[in-house]
Amino acid sequence: MIKFLVHEKTDTVGVATEDIKAGQMAKGLFMDTQEPIEMKALKDISLGHKIALKDFKIGDTVLKYGHDIGKAVKDIKAGDHVHTHNLKTKRW
């Protein structure tokens, strides 16, 4: 069962389509190519929240919908929950 969607192949985060539990192997799908992807969730990820598809260092750009949605303000590991605690807009 699909647990998260990735809008474009270039995106670096996916969006949970249902709650994902820490330690769970979650299946995802790239919407543009229909390719499957699988990630192990390192933390609980709530419906609608983001899962990291790669490791990020502080200052790295996060891509969603093919667009820059902000920068990592903490190091983030692939499979981590990405939200306001570790991602901020570049506008401020």
pLDDT reported for residue 49:
98
pTM of the predicted model, to two decimals?
0.95
pLDDT reported for residue 92:
72
Strand arrangement, sheet containing 67-72: 61-64, 67-72, 87-88
Taking each continuous run of H as one helix and of E as one strand, the counts in the chain are 0, 9
CA distances to 9, 49, 53 from 6, rounded to whole Å, are 7, 12, 9
CATH (domain of 9) = 2.30.130.110
Binning pLDDT at 50, 70 and 90, where does residue 91 land?
Answer: confident
Domain count, the chain: 1
**Whole domain around residue 25: which residue ranges?**
2-88
Residues 6+ apart with CB under 8 A from 5: 14, 15, 17, 28, 29, 31
pLDDT over 90 at 80, yes or no:
yes
Binning pLDDT at 50, 70 and 90, where does residue 79 land?
Answer: very high
